[in-house]
Amino acid sequence: MVALVVVLIASFMELLDATIVTVAAPAIAEGLGAGEATLQWTVAGYTLALGAGLITGGRIGDQFGRRRIFLIGLAAFAIASAACALAPNPAVLVATRVAQGLAGGLMVPQVFGIIRSSFAPVARAKAFGAYGAVLGLASVAGPLAGGLLVEADVFGLGWRTIFWVNVPVAAVGLALGTRFLPESAATARTRLDLPGAALAAAGAVCVLLPLVQGHEWGWPWWGYVILFLSVPFMALFLRRERRLVARGDQPVLDPGLLRVRAFSSGLAASTLFFGAIGSFFLLLSLYLQFGTGRSALETGLLILPYAVGSTLTSGIGVQLAARVGRLLLVTGSLVLAVSQFLLLLVVRDGGAPSYWALALPLFVGGLGLGLTSPSLVNVVLAGVPARDAGAAGGVLTTVGQIGNAVGVAVLGVLFFAELDTSTSAGATPLTAYGDAFASVLPWQIAFYVVAAGLMMLLPKHTDALGGGGTSTDVAVSEK
């Protein structure tokens, strides 16, 4: 039981850190004099690094011991958090956020391996249920914690407290984990595909770097060259993975999976779906604080209905996925599209919207997220051969994180471009940020609608899910 508490504490901390920063982003911008690119990198750098490390981190734990790698990742996460809190300038903050994400990539995959190896099947199902509850709690607590910590300004630290709070939490986890966590490792040893992971990460960076930095650079020609370099990097990545498969080694991604309709459609749907979500909370927070003049705490309270809606439907979604599968996902994605449309109507009204005018569409969006997000991987895996379910689940989760980062980059470009245009025309902050936020909402609607169309290509239900375990077990065991 203590072992479960330890891994849940670590999971809560990591999940909280992914959401808490969006509410604190305006305070970070003012405190460090950070520009738009820094705000985007503060969110996107973390999720990109986390996504890049998940599959490799899981295999490192399988090979060298999950308890050992979990504790190393937890200690590294604490050190990186302290470095974020001490960051003297925007560049250091971005670098330490990337370090946080890499540490999370070591730590998070071990959680599922430890649960699988530490509990009998019946108790394991309950443990994964507790993990799901922690997911919901973190989604609710993140915006509120960010607002409270920034507003409280403990010891005059302001936004830095959102990172300092991780240090004592991690210290407790390390103390308990050192004593109570059991060690486990995979019986079969595999060679780590570090070059493959590096090529994939390089390709992603070549996409993100010019998109995020392009505005500050003035869109130079060499920025487009960097963007183009993503193509040969990804080509080299796929070529290497095919060679590894031919030799019987274990690649980061088996290119043969791309020929499976459910998997390729699921990759595209995940990229669009999580791309829309990843950018939404950062841009919403900027609009609420810099545009409508709300405080960090008021912003957290406004985001709360979204988290509540997600919590209400997430359990229902997991239960219904076995029977209605893709219909559930399509419904959730379209509900999110409707919520963005309702929000667009409120923002375009021109005035400073009331709490309830914003809370309703946000609550509707949370309902859609809860229907889709917890079940997306499982529904996709139902169309993948059982022997490939673990690898496919890991890749899908990784792509979701990378899609999150790409969404921040792409939609952030549109947001800040419109913001500059409105500001140059002499618009007030409310009008300028309202115009900027309204400019990205149609794109988010389009992302959700196209994702829903791709989800129609997924299996009708998850009853076909192979591998000898529950759908939940498969989905989370290879995050």
What confidence tens digit (pLDDT) does each residue in 192-212 have? Answer: 788 988 898 898 889 888 988
pTM of the model: 0.86
Arithmetic mean of pLDDT, 95-122: 85
Nearest Cα neighbor of 55 from 383, 401, 348 is: 401
Cα–Cα dist 55/58, whole Å: 5
Three-state SS at 61: helix
Nearest-angstrom CA–CA distance, 468 and 465: 8
Contact assessment for residue 251 and residue 196, using Cβ atoms and an 8 Å cutoff: yes
Other beta carbons within 10 Å of 172 = 13
Instruction: Using the predicted structure, report yes or no on whether residue 469 has a pLDDT greater than 50.
Output: no
Residue, of 68 and 58, whose pLDDT is higher: 68
CA distance 301 to 150: 13
Of the listed ranges 85-99, 101-115, 261-275, 418-432, the one predicted with least confidence: 101-115
| Side chain identity at residue 119, one-letter code | F
Alpha carbon 44 to chain centroid, angstroms:
9
pLDDT of amino acid 310:
86
**Predicted confidence (pLDDT) at residue 380 exceeds the cutoff of 90:** no
CA distances (Å), origin 462, targets 34, 74, 112, 133: 46, 34, 21, 22
Crossing angle between the packed helical segments 36-64 and 66-85, to the nearest 10 degrees: 160
What is the four-CA torsion angle of 338, 341, 342, 345, rounded to 10 degrees?
-170
The 10s digit of each residue's pLDDT in 248-259 is 888 888 888 888
The Cα-based distances of 237 to 44, 201, 203, 443 in angstroms read 22, 10, 9, 30
Which residues in 243-255 are b (16+ Cβ under 10 Å) and which e? ebeeeeebbbbbe
pLDDT at 313 over 80: yes
Angle subtended at Cα 94 by Cα 90 and Cα 95, rounded to the nearest 5 degrees: 115
Q: What is the pLDDT of residue 136?
A: 63
State residue 128's pLDDT score.
67
Write down the pLDDT at residue 139: 67
Give the helix ranges, DSSP H, for 287-295.
Answer: none
Q: Range with the lowest mean pLDDT among 59-73, 120-134, 156-170, 430-444?
A: 120-134
Task: Give the containing element (helix H, strand E) for 329.
Answer: helix 296-348
For the residues 413-417, what does the mean pLDDT come to?
92
User: 49 with 55: CB under 8 angstroms?
Assistant: no
Q: Which residues, in sequence order, are CB contacts of 191 under 8 Å at separation 6+?
A: 249, 250
Q: What is the CATH number of domain 255-479?
A: 1.20.1250.20
Instruction: Supply the Cα-derived Rg of the chain in whole angstroms.
Output: 21
What tokens appear for 395 in the block?
């890749």
The band of 470, judged by pLDDT with boundaries at 50, 70 and 90, is very low
pLDDT beyond 70 at 479: no
Least confident of 130-139, 181-190, 265-274: 130-139
295-298: long-range contacts at Cβ-Cβ below 8 A with a sequence spacing of 24 or more?
Answer: 295/147, 295/151, 296/23, 296/24, 296/26, 296/27, 296/146, 296/147, 296/150, 296/151, 297/147, 297/148, 297/150, 297/151, 298/147
Residue 459 corresponds to which amino acid? P
pLDDT band at 92 (very low <50, low <70, confident <90, very high): very high
For 28-49, the pLDDT digits (tens) are 998 998 888 888 899 888 988 8
| Per-residue pLDDT, 231 | 94
The rounded distance, in Å, linking the Cα atoms of 165 and 168 is 6
Q: Which residue has the higher pLDDT, 477 or 364?
A: 364
337 vs 365: CA distance, rounded Å? 8
Average confidence score pLDDT of the chain: 85
The superfamily (CATH) of domain 1-181 is MFS general substrate transporter like domains (1.20.1250.20)
Least confident range of 109-118, 423-432, 442-451: 109-118
Decide if pLDDT at 247 tops 60: yes
List of residues 6+ apart from 423 with CB closer than 8 A: 432
How do residues 5-28 score in pLDDT, each as one tens digit?
888 888 888 888 877 888 888 999
Helices (H), 349-428: 355-372, 376-381, 389-424
> Which residue from 381, 394, 402, 399 is spatially nearest to 260, judged by alpha carbons?
381
For 84, other C-beta atoms within 10 Å of its C-beta total: 27
For residue 117, what are its two tokens? Answer: 């190896």
Q: Which helix (H) or strand (E) holds 57?
A: helix 36-64
Which of 91-100, 296-305, 374-383, 458-467 tops mean pLDDT? 91-100
Mean pLDDT within 419-437: 93
**pLDDT in the model for residue 473:** 37
